[in-house]
């Protein structure tokens, strides 16, 4: 049984590759999808497609249209969502994607360091499972195939 996994979360390191490698090692039949991970491209995609905007507010507005379009297409295709929080950044998109996924009844795994237990306690409570590492997240999915 093939499953599609949406990887919500920050786009500043290569955690998505890492999780894909772990899945390969375990030979799990998973397809990973997610947001645009090239940060500049994600910020500029509005102007890239729609042309120069009046100022940074409108540039952001245009980019968010297209980033949200992408997320909606791929989230609707997903069987499972993994949402990763790190120690840096505001990560409001991660919170937004995780909350939307839970509301859409997508089985959702939250990954966060123990330092974020308190501020993420309500989101963690709504997610199906909360873990601290990518290995643990993948073990949770692996368990489906046992």
- Closer residue to its own copies, CB minimum distance, 3 or 20: 3
Least Å distance, CB 132 to its own copies, is: 8
Closest CA to 44 of 21, 67, 77: 67
- Closer residue to its own copies, CB minimum distance, 22 or 130: 130
Least Å distance, CB 97 to its own copies, is: 8
Cα angle vertex 126, ends 124, 128, to 5°? 80
Least Å distance, CB 84 to its own copies, is: 13
Buried b (16+ CB within 10 A) or exposed e, 120-140: beebbeebebbbeebeebbeb
């Amino acid at each position: 049984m093939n499953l599609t996994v949406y990887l919500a979360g920050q786009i500043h390191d290569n955690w998505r590759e890492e999780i894909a490698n772990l899945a390969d090692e375990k030979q799990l039949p998973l397809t990973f999808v997610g947001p645009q991970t090239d940060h500049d491209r994600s910020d500029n995609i509005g102007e890239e497609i729609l042309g120069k905007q009046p100022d940074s507010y409108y540039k952001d507005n245009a980019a968010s249209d297209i980033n949200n379009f992408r997320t909606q297409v791929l989230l609707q295709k997903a069987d499972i969502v993994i949402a990763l929080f790190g120690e840096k950044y505001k990560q409001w998109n991660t919170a937004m994607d995780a909350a939307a996924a839970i509301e859409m009844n997508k089985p959702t795994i939250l990954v966060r360091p123990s330092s974020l237990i308190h501020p993420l306690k309500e989101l963690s409570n709504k997610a199906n499972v909360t873990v601290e590492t990518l290995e643990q997240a993948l073990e949770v999915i692996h368990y489906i195939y046992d």
